[in-house]
Amino acid sequence: MAVKSAIINVMVNAALKAAPQLVRDFGEVEQLQVSKKGPSDFVSTADLKAEKTLLRELSKARPEFGFLMEEQGERKGEDETQRWIIDPLDGTTNFLHGIPHFAISIGYEKSGEVLAGVIYDPVKDELFWAERGRGAWMNDRRLRVSGRSDLSQAVLATGIPHHGRGDHREFLAVAEVFMARTAGIRRFGAAALDLAYVAAGRYEGFWELGLSPWDVAAGSIIVREAGGFVTDYAGRDRAVQTGEVLAANDHLHPTLCKLISEARRSAARPASASQ
């Protein structure tokens, strides 16, 4: 049975305190107050309540830590080397449309490095967690990335740019390359869970642009501790900072990195240059 460290227990307890209200709100989603942050970005009272619960519980356990939160932004702590990176509701659009695929995501960062992460899916009661050097787990089961090395057997996940967001031409260029070479592409709308699923071997890889640190922090350490790689598209350890994410098992990461680079170069050429 997995033994959780003190820092993991703090994160897990906070997630479990925030989850019941999220589930109740999901059951009454039509009554929730919702406002728009951007063209297709929404924030609901459920996001705000969950974030307040996480802030309260984590502050109680580690009052000196700072925070980087999706809804309330950055709060400096007395100890500026340590902070929590929080997404109280990853998959808000799913949540607001009654799609039961969303999660709470908490990352622990020290001196600029993510050292631990917790992602909790309250609908499926799946708790993904990892700490540097201690492996990755789902509930009490050890996680390992998929062992598939043949791209034609691989299933990849992604986030599709939508109204007001992202470079649609570039995305289509990359997706076209992967569609021709893989067993399938999935888009479920919760980046933290996409990363957790790579760690669990459910997907062979995941790519997406324009993510925020709270989308990536917890998932990045979980994938790495499960034996996978998480980088930006150029293969650098900059995914959390840049929001440009490529996660995959150790067999396929180099190939996916190469194919993305080629597709991006192709998409960047003027139309006349490719004729």
Q: How many distinct structural domains can be found in the chain?
A: 2
20 and 125 fall within a common domain: yes
Q: Would you say residue 1 lies in a domain?
A: no
Lowest mean pLDDT among 2-6, 112-116, 224-228: 2-6
205 and 137 fall within a common domain: no
Q: What is the pLDDT of residue 255?
A: 96
Q: Is the pLDDT of residue 184 over 70?
A: yes
Q: Is the pLDDT of residue 40 over 50?
A: no
Contact (Cβ atoms closer than 8 angstroms) between residue 238 and residue 138: no
120 and 173 fall within a common domain: no
Q: Would you say residue 207 lies in a domain?
A: yes
The Cα diameter of the chain in Å comes to: 62
Q: What band does 171 get if pLDDT is binned at 50, 70 and 90? A: confident
Q: Would you say residue 273 lies in a domain?
A: no
- Within 10 angstroms of residue 99's Cβ, the number of other Cβ atoms is 16
Q: Is the pLDDT of residue 229 over 80?
A: yes
The DSSP code for 98 is T
- Give the span between the Cα atoms of 54 and 10, in whole angstroms: 10
Mean pLDDT, rounded, for 79-104: 94
Q: Would you say residue 274 lies in a domain?
A: no
- Give the span between the Cα atoms of 140 and 118, in whole angstroms: 13
Q: What band does 164 get if pLDDT is binned at 50, 70 and 90? A: low
- Spatial strand order of the sheet with 141-142 comes to 73-75, 66-69, 82-90, 103-110, 113-121, 126-131, 136-138, 141-142
33 and 128 fall within a common domain: yes
In this structure, what token pair is assigned to residue 196? 């957790």
Kind of pairing, strands 66-69 and 82-90?
parallel
End-to-end CA distance of the chain: 59
Q: What band does 264 get if pLDDT is binned at 50, 70 and 90? A: confident
Q: What band does 170 get if pLDDT is binned at 50, 70 and 90? A: confident
Q: CATH number of the domain that 118 lies in?
A: 3.30.540.10
∠85-30-120 over CA atoms, to 5°? 30
179 and 117 fall within a common domain: no
Q: What is the pLDDT of residue 167?
A: 66
Helix-helix angle 6-27:45-61, to 10 degrees: 160
Q: Is the pLDDT of residue 39 over 80?
A: no
Q: What is the pLDDT of residue 273?
A: 47
Q: What band does 161 get if pLDDT is binned at 50, 70 and 90? A: confident
- Give the span between the Cα atoms of 179 and 174, in whole angstroms: 9
Q: What band does 2 get if pLDDT is binned at 50, 70 and 90? A: confident
Q: Would you say residue 137 lies in a domain?
A: yes
Q: What band does 166 get if pLDDT is binned at 50, 70 and 90? A: low
∠131-247-100 over CA atoms, to 5°? 80
180 and 240 fall within a common domain: yes
